[in-house]
Amino acid sequence: MMDAGYGYAGKILRIDLTNGIIRTESTRRYVPRFLGGRGINQWILLKELGPWVTPFEPANLICFGAGALSGTLVPGASRLNIDSKNPFTGGIGSGNAGGWFASELKYAGYDNLVLGGRAREPVYLWIENDRVVLKSARSLWGKTVAETEERIKEVSGHDDVQVLCIGPAGENMVRSACVIVCGCRAVGRCGLGAVMGSKNLKAIAVKGTGGIATRKPDDFMSLVKKTTKRLGGLHEHNARKEFGSLFVSPKWNDISSLPYKNYQDDYIPEESFARISHEVFHDAYEVSQHACTACPTHCGHSYRIDHGPYAGTLCRKAEANAVWNFGGRLAIEDAGAILKAQEECCQLGLDIDNTASSIGWAIDSFQNKILTEKDTDGLNLNWSDHEVILKLIRKIANREGLGNILAEGSMRASQMVGRGSEKYAFHMKGQDLIEGIRAAKGWALGVVVSARGGAHTRGAAVTEARKYSEEDSQKLFGVKTAGDARAYEGKPEVVTQTEYICSLLDSLGVCFFSGTWGAPQGVNPDELARFYSFATGIEMTVPELMKTAERIHNVEKMFNVYHAGFTREDDYPPERLMEEPVRSGPLKGELLQKERWDEMLDVYYSLHGWDKDTGWPSRETLEKLDLPECVEKLDQANRTRRGKISKR
């Protein structure tokens, strides 16, 4: 049982946007069973949403959850999770961002926000401790992210208020719309910005004057100092301080895991990559660094373009994905143009991953004479043409012309156009795929089985890019092959453990870069268990903590089973990636072999205690995890499945 007043803020804020009813409930109902952040959000969605609810209707919920350790001094404890029903897949939609919002939410007295309904006109939510008000957002509608944040701060008279908001893309319910936190941190993927837009919710602003107490402050601070000192000496953390997450791109290119020209290859040519390396961004464009709450790493880097066609552009933050998407997927070889595309997406509220994917599909289809200039509003679509790509980004955000089709994502766009364009749409469970997955098998498995529809931040193994030694691999995962990109053996074990670590970090609110996902010597489960115990007064052992992480992972899986009916058939990569090998780079010739993939899936399901035929959790597993409510939903899903089979 949670010790009131320690670790947690203690309340969950619930708002019905249709009628304006605001109420609170105790966080105690969900703790420690689901920890916080992602865990509490996922449970609320599974318990309270029926499978008949569609993502854009008022009955859908969108949940915002600060992690259980967010707002404390645990290194990297800054994270906010946002969860809802996924407009791409119909299953779970989930994303995570840092910044200062999560901490401020807890300082205002709330661990989670749960919003349902639909406001009659555009509104934003103002939270200032106990004062919770829905305010008109008519003057904000159509504004960019920066304009929205600036206006809210100006009207409130508080420059230190923390804001999350959507841009025009979310207002227009573009499926690739995202939520931007603190001006530059995207809660990417899963169309969560479009869900906010469907509710006429422009922004949430929070200002708190409270604090978070810890149950055993001396023990807690001793561990904070110890872990912070260790993190400060790690190569990975120092590299992020110097270059941001951009420094990882060469590692991924080295194992042929960066899609090039919409998966024509998974390797960016050396001469092209040299023009968009992390050193180029650092030396030619970087102007400042910044960090999230309680973070010793300072991986946030801002860039200014002072020459060329985009001179004057300030990009407050760029991640490695910007290079992967615009430099790899779309073959832009100008670092300044990549920064401009990144900032354009940020201000319009577009997820760069899904946006670049749909544009990649369009260029590929145009190059193969499926789309013509009649289809493209007169635009000539070519790889590397950043001027045209920027026009497409704006068209997508405003649903103009071709942009109205691309706003649906590559799968739906290809279905609308037809004519063989489906060949150039790469997606998982309906959401665009962004990672190169033919070469590194553990990375591939983690991406493909991700419940939110293709994503590496749910359990993909980063061990291969770091080329773990057999000794480190055995020590951390109990297998010797974690660092061998070509190996299929041992990868289900690595992915399963990584999935639980990711679930744990998201629910505690700790950044992946601070945990063992970011570096083998990062904050480990033993330290996380002690942090949680010292902060909350709830004694938690490592086995108990990992079981809780497994429980949360299974809740997410059951949402997909119950709402989307995903089965084993949905855990396979796109067929072309099992037929066409990598064309160049150190792992030239690699591809995914279906027989070996099946072997990995069998082991992966077995490790989770899931049925090998369906890929669904077994009754025994759900009972072991104390999820009787999920057993009921599993029975319903099985009855529905048997009914469908009998009608065939």
CATH number at residue 477: 1.10.599.10
Same domain, 417 and 348: yes
149-162 pLDDT per residue, tens: 999 999 999 999 99
Confidence at residue 477, expressed as pLDDT on a 0 to 100 scale: 93
Confidence at residue 1, expressed as pLDDT on a 0 to 100 scale: 54
Please report which confidence band the pLDDT of residue 642 belongs to, taking 50, 70 and 90 as the band edges: confident
- Whichever domain contains 421, its CATH number is 1.10.569.10
Q: Which of 429, 464, 496 represents a domain boundary (last residue)?
A: 429
Same domain, 278 and 367: yes
The Cα 588–Cα 267 span in angstroms is: 9
69-93 pLDDT per residue, tens: 999 999 999 999 999 999 999 999 9
583-608 pLDDT per residue, tens: 999 999 999 999 999 999 999 999 99
How many percent of the chain have pLDDT more than 70? 99
The string of DSSP codes covering 515-579 is BTTT-TTSB-HHHHHHHHHHHHS----HHHHHHHHHHHHHHHHHHHHHHH---GGGGS--GGGGT
Same domain, 558 and 579: yes
Residue 647: is its pLDDT beyond 80? no
Same domain, 445 and 425: no
Q: What is the mean pLDDT of residues 35-39?
A: 98
Q: Which of 375, 398, 429 represents a domain boundary (last residue)?
A: 429
Q: If 0-12 CB within 10 Å is exposed, 13-18 middle and 19+ buried, where does residue 418 land? A: exposed
Count of structural domains, the chain:
3
| Residues 523, 6 contacting (CB under 8 angstroms) | no
Domain range for 39 is: 11-207
| Residues 101, 80 contacting (CB under 8 angstroms) | yes
Same domain, 175 and 311: no
524-539 pLDDT per residue, tens: 999 999 999 999 999 9
Same domain, 575 and 481: yes
Q: If 0-12 CB within 10 Å is exposed, 13-18 middle and 19+ buried, where does residue 489 land? A: middle
Q: If 0-12 CB within 10 Å is exposed, 13-18 middle and 19+ buried, where does residue 4 land? A: exposed
The Cα 158–Cα 151 span in angstroms is: 11
Please report which confidence band the pLDDT of residue 296 belongs to, taking 50, 70 and 90 as the band edges: confident
Query: Looking at 9-13, 289-293, 346-350, which range is the least confident one?
Result: 289-293
For residue 96, give the amino acid letter. Answer: N
Same domain, 424 and 448: no
| Residues 133, 194 contacting (CB under 8 angstroms) | no
Same domain, 398 and 490: no
| 314-315: strand order across its sheet | 286-290, 300-304, 314-315
Same domain, 178 and 277: no
Residue 254 lies in a domain: no
- The number of residues making up the chain comes to 648
Same domain, 343 and 450: no
Residue 524 lies in a domain: no
462-493 pLDDT per residue, tens: 999 999 989 889 988 999 999 999 999 999 99
190-233 pLDDT per residue, tens: 999 999 999 999 999 999 999 999 999 999 999 999 999 999 99
The string of DSSP codes covering 478-529 is S-S-TT-TT--TTHHHHHHHHHHHHHHHHHHTB-TTTBTTT-TTSB-HHHHH
Residue 232 lies in a domain: no
Residue 240 lies in a domain: no
Residue 613 lies in a domain: yes
Please report which confidence band the pLDDT of residue 176 belongs to, taking 50, 70 and 90 as the band edges: very high
Same domain, 460 and 394: no
The Cα 379–Cα 434 span in angstroms is: 24
CA 398 to chain centre: 23
Q: Which of 146, 180, 207 represents a domain boundary (last residue)?
A: 207
Same domain, 546 and 566: yes
For residue 496, give the amino acid letter. Answer: T
Confidence at residue 2, expressed as pLDDT on a 0 to 100 scale: 57
| 201-207: strand order across its sheet | 131-136, 123-128, 201-207, 162-165, 179-181, 185-187
Residue 435 lies in a domain: no
Residue 214 lies in a domain: no
Confidence at residue 297, expressed as pLDDT on a 0 to 100 scale: 83
The Cα 408–Cα 549 span in angstroms is: 33
- Whichever domain contains 156, its CATH number is 3.60.9.10
Mean of the per-residue pLDDT values for the chain?
96
423-437 pLDDT per residue, tens: 999 999 999 999 999
